[in-house]
Structure 1
């Protein structure tokens, strides 16, 4: 539909779908020891994923 707005959750889903490599790296880091997840455990991987998602959402 011309002029229709994309819902924010749909924009997020589209952006995450474009960051497969980064999502995989973050998921593998979490899965290494999923019984011992704590804040900032995979911070570097998360920041790379976050940057990718924001880039594809048109932010930053």
Structure 2
């Protein structure tokens, strides 16, 4: 019997492949956290999102 991977496990595996992008995004947010505004770190967020989506696609 094969064990089915739970969605949270797939998410964790995909996110673990994007640590560099997560670090850059986190540094951007923390750099000016007292005056956060919309789209402040949009470029960094999109890089993280794209990394996650690519990693999730590979994991299927």
TM-score by shorter chain over 0.5: yes
- Scaled to the shorter chain, the TM-score interval is 0.7 to 0.9
Q: Distance in 2 between matches of 1:27 and 1:52?
A: 15
**Aligned counterpart, 1:38:** 37
**Aligned counterpart, 1:53:** 52
Q: Distance in 1 between matches of 2:19 and 2:55?
A: 12
List alignment gaps of at least 5 residues for structure 2.
none
Higher relative contact order at CA 8 Å, sep ≥6: structure 1 or structure 2?
A: 2
Q: Under a length normalisation based on structure 2, what TM-score does the superposition of the two structures give?
A: 0.83
Runs (4 or more) in structure 1 with deviation over 3 Å come to none
Alpha-carbon RMSD across the aligned residues, in angstroms, is: 1.5
Q: Under a length normalisation based on structure 1, what TM-score does the superposition of the two structures give?
A: 0.83
How many pairs are equivalent? Answer: 58
**Aligned counterpart, 2:6:** 7
**Aligned counterpart, 1:27:** 26
In structure 2, relative to structure 1, the CA distance for the partners of 1:44 and 1:10 (3 Å cut) is same
